[in-house]
């Protein structure tokens, strides 16, 4: 609208300024989007994210199932696995999401970067991904990589603490509660800022398997979609405030 008024003043000169302004306003409203509307559109833009999953992909499934309900600001458009037989890939294909297998190698980060660019990825979700990225890769995607970890970080995190190792350690330590953490990835393994956590009780007689199941079902599948929505909203806000 401001643009339209400016045009009105410019074409009008000194006579009939009001008519000129009105013409300009109408012109502006017809041919140019309102600034506020533009901001809103930007804020509501659907972001693209990639899920890196080399395991069964139950967290990926939780994300797929949350699409359109819990997650409205982003969509999964690419799933990358280091293993060709990862069930996560089957889940992705069933949901119509593009997949890629990138085995561990020296050049894997370059390969991944090319895929991220080709699919216009805004942020990355690690869900069952064991490969540790270089500091260079992490800083290039600062605050754009998040990870789900099956414990209440900082407890039971760090190098070597993955999968069943975590649950075994929790039970061996006699902890009375455990849970899951979704956090940003930085150069410290499992050390980035925490986005969301959810806890459950460790019950008498729990095995690593029963604890893993409870944490997946009651914690990870719940907070991971919530965290994805939060990250997408934050990135959209940052876009509009730049
Ligand atoms: C999850 O427990 C996650 O925290 C960890 O790996 C497991 C992946 O499970 N990083 P799934 O493949 O999503 O079922």
What pLDDT does residue 26 have?
Answer: 42
Q: Report which of residues 3 and 68 the model is more confident about.
A: 68
Q: Is residue 22 part of a domain?
A: yes
Q: Is residue 169 part of a domain?
A: yes
Q: Is residue 42 part of a domain?
A: no
The reply to whether 101 and 191 lie within a common domain is yes
Q: Is residue 118 part of a domain?
A: yes
Long-range CB contacts (< 8 A, 24+ apart) of 235-238?
A: 235/47, 235/122, 235/123, 235/144, 236/42, 236/43, 236/44, 236/45, 236/47, 236/73, 237/43
Name all residues whose Cβ lies below 6 A of ligand 1.
Answer: 53, 55-59, 127-128, 148-150, 163, 216, 220
Q: How far, in Å, CA of 164 to CA of 171, rounded?
A: 11
What pLDDT does residue 161 have?
Answer: 97
Q: How far, in Å, CA of 1 to CA of 33, rounded?
A: 8
Query: Is the pLDDT score of 39 beyond 90?
Result: no
Residue 31: pLDDT band with limits 50, 70, 90: very low
The reply to whether 61 and 17 lie within a common domain is no
The reply to whether 98 and 202 lie within a common domain is yes
- For range 130-159, the mean pLDDT: 97
Atom of ligand 1 nearest to the CA of 60: 13
Q: Report which of residues 40 and 189 the model is more confident about.
A: 189
What pLDDT does residue 240 have?
Answer: 78
Query: Is the pLDDT score of 6 beyond 90?
Result: no
pLDDT tens-digit readout, 78-88: 999 999 999 99
What pLDDT does residue 18 have?
Answer: 43
The reply to whether 57 and 135 lie within a common domain is yes
The reply to whether 68 and 7 lie within a common domain is no
The reply to whether 137 and 28 lie within a common domain is no
Q: How many residues does the chain have?
A: 242
The reply to whether 123 and 79 lie within a common domain is yes
Ligand 1, from 53, 54, 131, 150: best to mutate by most atoms within 8 Å of Cβ?
150
pLDDT > 90: percent of the chain: 80
What pLDDT does residue 97 have?
Answer: 98
pLDDT tens-digit readout, 190-205: 999 999 999 999 999 9
pLDDT tens-digit readout, 108-140: 999 999 999 999 999 999 999 999 999 999 999
**Domain tally, the chain:** 2
Average pLDDT score over the chain: 88
Query: Is the pLDDT score of 13 beyond 90?
Result: no
The reply to whether 79 and 195 lie within a common domain is yes
What pLDDT does residue 36 have?
Answer: 54
Q: Is residue 8 part of a domain?
A: yes
Ligand 1 centroid to residue 71 C-alpha, Å: 19
Model confidence, pTM? 0.84
Count other C-beta atoms under 10 Å from residue 112's C-beta: 20
Count other C-beta atoms under 10 Å from residue 15's C-beta: 7
Query: Is the pLDDT score of 29 beyond 80?
Result: no
Q: Is residue 38 part of a domain?
A: no
CATH number of 123's domain: 3.40.50.170
The reply to whether 214 and 109 lie within a common domain is yes
pLDDT tens-digit readout, 166-192: 999 999 999 999 999 999 999 999 999
Residue 13 domain boundaries: 2-32
Q: Is residue 39 part of a domain?
A: no
The reply to whether 83 and 199 lie within a common domain is yes
The reply to whether 16 and 75 lie within a common domain is no
The reply to whether 125 and 87 lie within a common domain is yes
What pLDDT does residue 241 have?
Answer: 74
Atom of ligand 1 nearest to the CA of 61: 13
């Amino acid at each position: 609208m401001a643009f339209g008024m400016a045009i009105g003043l410019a074409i009008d000169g000194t006579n009939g300024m009001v008519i000129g302004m009105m013409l300009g306003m109408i012109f502006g409203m017809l041919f140019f989007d309102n600034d506020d509307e533009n901001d809103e559109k930007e804020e509501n833009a659907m972001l693209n994210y990639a899920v890196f999953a080399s395991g069964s992909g139950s967290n990926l499934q939780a994300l797929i199932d949350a699409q359109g309900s819990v997650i409205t600001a982003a969509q999964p458009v690419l799933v990358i696995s280091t293993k060709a037989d990862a069930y996560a890939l089957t889940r992705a294909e069933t949901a119509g999401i593009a997949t890629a297998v990138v085995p561990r190698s020296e050049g894997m980060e370059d390969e991944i970067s090319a895929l991220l660019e080709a699919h216009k990825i805004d942020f990355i979700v690690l869900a069952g991904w064991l490969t540790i990225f270089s500091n260079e890769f992490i800083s290039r995607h600062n605050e754009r990589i998040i990870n789900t970890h099956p414990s209440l970080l900082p407890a039971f995190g760090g190098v070597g603490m993955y999968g069943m190792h975590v649950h075994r350690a929790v039970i061996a330590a006699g902890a009375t509660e455990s849970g899951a953490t979704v956090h940003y990835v930085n150069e410290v393994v499992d050390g980035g800022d925490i986005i969301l956590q959810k806890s459950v009780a460790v019950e008498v007689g729990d095995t690593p398997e029963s604890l893993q199941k409870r944490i997946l079902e009651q914690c990870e599948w719940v907070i991971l979609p919530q965290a994805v929505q939060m990250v997408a909203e934050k990135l959209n806000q940052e876009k509009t405030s730049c």
